[in-house]
Amino acid sequence: MSHTSSPASRLRPGTGASSQDEINAEIVAIEADAAARVAAGGSPELHPRRDYAPYRSSLLRHPTHELVRIDPEEVERVSPAFGHTDVNSLESDLTIQHAGEPIGERMTVGGRVLDGEGRPVRHQLIELWQANAGGRYVHKRDQHPAPLDPNFTGVGRAITGDNGEYSFTTIKPGPYPWKNHVNAWRPAHIHFSLFGNAFTQRLITQMYFPGDPLFALDPIYQSIADADARARLVGQYDHSLSVPEFSLGYRWDIVLTGPKSTWMEGEDADE
């Protein structure tokens, strides 16, 4: 297959798109405003503002009217089912789903799912999805000119144990460009989806990796004005989770409720 345009031209936003410096200035101004509100006696902003301007599409997609109330039982009758069988323990290993070995840095990602009181959330369905080592998703909307890996699909699921514990074996994802502004890149991250007792209780969040130089430039990560809340999205290297001669270990606990809960995405987020 041939292409008539360069990768850069296919990824560059249209005329009039903001520069990274402009996005950075907006991020700093919002964080300063949030800090001023806390200094005046307000509460820290643990979740993003719905109309967070540096994340350009949030201005068009955030709700502007009262939410429509629906019958949750009726919704559950038509909600999707992710898989036709019970969750198999092998589904948590994303490196064995194909005939060959996927390319990239193998990782073991584990931790616990907790409530706001520190109690384990048992038998919770966790799904994850991610880009491959080149920063490419197996999805028709992803036209990033990075290679697909025939041995890596990038999806898995697991059930938490009696202590709220979970574990996945996977490949470290790569960063990728997106069209929010000129030369915009998302830090490497893994999407996590958690279900309660029903599909209407689904929560989605993202785990990042320590020391990523793209943190300061990313309006999605920076949309959480409170620094401590942002830090709770970053997994930490844990040598006890590393598997000798096989994978490096990262620990990431997910807190579902309370003042130290893990940030969860809005329903319209897609990056």
Give 167: exposed, middle or buried? Use CB within 10 Å, 0-12, 13-18, 19+.
middle
For the annotated catalytic residues, the residue numbers are 137, 176, 186, 189, 191
